[in-house]
Chains A and B, each alone.
Chain A
Amino acid sequence: MTGYDLVVVGGGPAGVAGALSAAQAGLRVALVDAGPRLGGQYFRHRAGSLPSGRGADRFVRQCRALRTRAELLLDHKVWAVEQGEDSVTVHVMAGQEERPFTLACRSLLIATGAHDRPLPFPGWDLPGVLTAGGAQALLKGEGVPAGRRVVVSGTGPFLLPVAAGLAKAGVSVAGVFEANGPLGLARHPLLAAGKAGEALGYGAALAGHRVPYRTRHAVVAAHGSSRVTHVTVARLDAEWRVLSSRTVECDAVAVGYGFVPQIDLAVQLGCATTHSADGSPVVDVDEGQRTSVASVYAAGEPTGVGGAELAELEGRTAGLTIAHDLASGEGGDPVPGVLRRRGERLRAFARALQEAYPVQPGWQDWLHDDTLVCRCEEVPVSRIREAMDLGATDARSIKLLARPGMGWCQGRICGYAVSCLAGERPQAPRRPIAQPITLGCLERIEDEQPH
């Protein structure tokens, strides 16, 4: 039961590039993605259209090439992976009916991307408050603007394209509120060289739509009864404590404080993890994108948030390494120097960007006792503090006592905030079941033939 030479999980820039590189080297490749179209978050696009944005033409070409060279399993969710004697088993649910089956492969590439990293604030669970990535996905993937008058808030360069996209779609963007100071970008020699051009482009686009951009400001509360109707925007000090505040009317909010790499599958396999500059647990990989577990590779955001260009490069690197390792055993370095040097540059840039947009501790002062931290289990911050008072000293024991992270999302949304409240760096998440699976599916996983 050898199945495929390579199964790639994730159809964004890293996964597509990895699958294509490996397929071009002659490997038998399958790419699995939960979505209906390739693209991941960065190249998300509407049905019947093509991805747009920087690098999109190249991505479209890669996708076309991949279609003839690899098996694409779209609308397929991976809920678990297992290491066997000489293969990796990928447990998949197919389509809306969620038919369970398994794929066997000699190597696995984890290219599962990242999701938004929100911070709780009073009213953040009101309808109309979306993550920045959620607002972007709704617009890019569905053609639906988050609202008529939208406030964008959080930290990091991702806020700019979100706001610019909304403004371009005719939405009134009531303001972009960046919690960190005035860049960042301009002052940092490395950043100035790289992203400044792109940032200036978005800046000009926002200025053209008369969208105010304020640094050291953030949405610290959302108000409304069944839907957000206005927000409190505060001027912040360097630690993000509130200096003064005012009210801004809006019918939607897009908030994001960076990203959380999705590393559940790597943790299931026991891959070593480390922390990136933004505090996120990430998969530890070598220069060939090899994880600490034989036959398992990771590329893109799971190894550290670095954007689409770096993700694509890491995907290509992984594809080449996998082809090399399968042909001649692991070890050695098949990656051309040019790729490696560009990777080093992009990684240094990503690190600098993460350092330029840190999350400061003052956000904890925005919370009221009854502010929900865990949206699923409806756990307010008071219960988290009570658990700590009872002897919970880390995020895990807080979860055991007060239940944040025990619900539907399994801590994907509140995990970062709970770790901050516990005063620890987020630990690698242990989620043996990466996607909810019905007991009916689970009981018949072995009855289904390998694909």
Chain B
Amino acid sequence: MSDVIVIGAGVVGAACAYYAAAAGLDVTVLDRGPVAGGTTGAGEGNVLVSDKEPGPELDLALLSNRLWRELAEHGGFEYEPKGGLVVAETGEVQRQLVELAGKQGVEHTVVPDTELHGYEPHLADGLAGGVFYPQDAQVQPMLAAARLLRHGADSFGHGALRLRTGVTVTGFVRSGERVTGVRTDHGDILADAVVNAAGTWGGQVAALAGVELPILPRRGFILVTEPLREPLIRHKVYTAAYVTNVASDSADLETSAVVEGTPAGSVLIGASRERVGFDRTTSIPVLRRLAAQATALFPVLRNRRVIRSYCGFRPYCPDHLPVIGPDPRAPGLLHACGHEGAGIGLAPATGHLLAQLLSGERTALDLAPFSPGRFA
């Protein structure tokens, strides 16, 4: 019997397990697939503070940003604190960007149009300016999740963190109202607490406990270019429209340019958002829009080849806030899911705060805005 069962071996589950083990708890992580094969496996690895409106999510992002830097010191996965550059097409948009940056209170530099090429030599001409956020970073999320689990298992005493892949949770074990374990296709597993870190499938896991979490898949496509010999793009670069789209409630297709290089040499190009269920059919019109927006920002990309595209499903909550904390409707069940497109970035803070909760400490941030109770 473990102290805690974590459902989901993605980056959020891994962070929950890691910090819980660090706090001295025995943790078992279950995943129906391999490590990081679901929501995390389609993630770009954004660790962003720049795209958050001031408020609880930004606080979470800032805490997480600091924790990612600490975790990266263990090594074993790519972590690039390269900074993010948000660019504005018009003077009016630039004014709004600068205003947002002021309200965020996050470290930033306002970049006038004349200095954009100092940041990104290949940016298109004619942009009105931008704002640079030095804290924005990038991790390789799959490897980061796997390494966190391994590091947690190796560092905090024998048996404190166990990973079991290929185990599907089919229900919950209850003692009265209280959740005391999970039913799986490999038998019942008991624990004092169960953490739902099932990402986009978090709503389905919650439903097994009879509670509703309104988490919906919000599909996104990514284009991946050929590996470039020399990096063309230094930072994560995106247009102001990205911020608006992230915060939008529309089910319809929205796209904005998000472009960045990777240590492997490929350039990743996003981002699209649409609510179409779990449909994986490739939409060529979406790929075309992503290509057009990326080349508008970086004309040099026109003669670079796309070798791959893939899609993933962000765990979308109607209020765009993750669900973190105990579920009052099912004592013993805690949630750590619904991070939409920010799960990679917000994972360490999520895990850290949940571990504080589980070990009876005062949490470093107020979890009320993220409470599952808001759906009760």
Contact = CB atoms under 8 A, between A and B. Distances in A.
Contacts of A393: 33-35, 165-166
B295 interface: yes
B305 A437 contact: yes
Contact of B284 (A80, A407, A410): A80
Contacts of A432: 282, 287, 308-310
A303 to B, nearest CB: 23
A76 interface: no
B147 interface: yes
B251 interface: no
A445 B288 contact: yes
B291 A442 contact: yes
A91 interface: yes
B59 to A, nearest CB: 30
B75 to A, nearest CB: 14
Given A401-B36, A432-B310, A439 B294 contact: yes
B309 A403 contact: no
A438 B264 contact: no
A433 B302 contact: no
A127 to B, nearest CB: 20
Given A408-B227, A432-B310, A433-B309, A392 B146 contact: yes
B142 A401 contact: yes
A209 interface: no
Contact of A397 (B37, B288, B301, B309): B37
B307 interface: yes
Nearest to A409: B307
B34 A270 contact: no
Contacts of A408: 226-227, 307
Contacts of B149: 390-391
A377 B264 contact: yes
A238 B27 CA distance: 45
A400 interface: yes
Contacts of B303: 438-440
A394 interface: yes
B225 interface: yes
A442 B223 CA distance: 11
Interface string B253-283: 0000000000010100100000000000110
A57 interface: no
A432 B306 CA distance: 11
B106 interface: no
A391 B41 CA distance: 13
Nearest to A269: B281
B227 A394 contact: no
B143 interface: yes
Given A438-B306, A443-B295, A400 B37 contact: yes
Given A268-B282, A397-B36, A403 B291 contact: no
Contacts of B287: 432-433, 442
B162 to A, nearest CB: 11
B9 interface: yes
A408 to B, nearest CB: 6
Interface residues of A, number: 34
B37 A396 contact: yes
B146 A440 contact: no
A225 B285 CA distance: 47
Contacts of A406: 264, 266, 308
Nearest to A440: B302
A400 B291 contact: no
A270 B279 CA distance: 11
A391 B165 contact: yes
A82 interface: yes
A431 interface: yes
Contacts of B302: 438-440, 443
B146 A391 contact: yes
Nearest to A397: B34
A330 interface: no
A397 B35 contact: yes
Interface in B201-254: 223, 225-227
Contacts of B41: 396-397, 400
Contacts of A400: 36-37, 41, 142
B292 interface: yes
Contact of A443 (B33, B225, B288): B288
Contacts of A445: 284, 288
B163 interface: yes
B154 to A, nearest CB: 11
B264 to A, nearest CB: 7
A19 B303 CA distance: 34
A397 B33 contact: yes
Contacts of B82: none
A80 B282 contact: yes
B301 A439 contact: yes
Nearest to B77: A401
A394 B34 contact: yes
B183 interface: no
B304 interface: yes
Given A391-B165, A393-B165, A443-B288, A437 B306 contact: yes
A433 B287 CA distance: 10
Contacts of A331: none
Contact of A438 (B9, B284, B304): B304
A332 interface: no
Nearest to B298: A439
Nearest to A406: B264
Contact of A446 (B225, B288, B294): B288
A242 B37 CA distance: 36
A446 B281 CA distance: 19
Nearest to A447: B288
Interface string A366-393: 0000000000010000000001001111
Query: 10 closest pairs, A vs B, by CB?
Result: A391-B35, A440-B302, A397-B34, A436-B305, A442-B291, A432-B282, A390-B146, A443-B292, A393-B34, A443-B291
Interface of A: 80, 82, 91, 268, 270, 377, 387, 390-394, 396-397, 400-401, 403, 406-408, 410, 430-433, 436-440, 442-443, 445-446
6 contacts: A393-B35, A433-B309, A436-B306, A437-B306, A438-B304, A443-B295
Given A82-B284, A377-B227, 18 more contacts: A91-B284, A390-B149, A391-B9, A391-B163, A392-B34, A393-B34, A397-B41, A401-B35, A407-B307, A408-B226, A408-B227, A432-B308, A436-B307, A437-B306, A439-B223, A439-B269, A440-B303, A442-B291
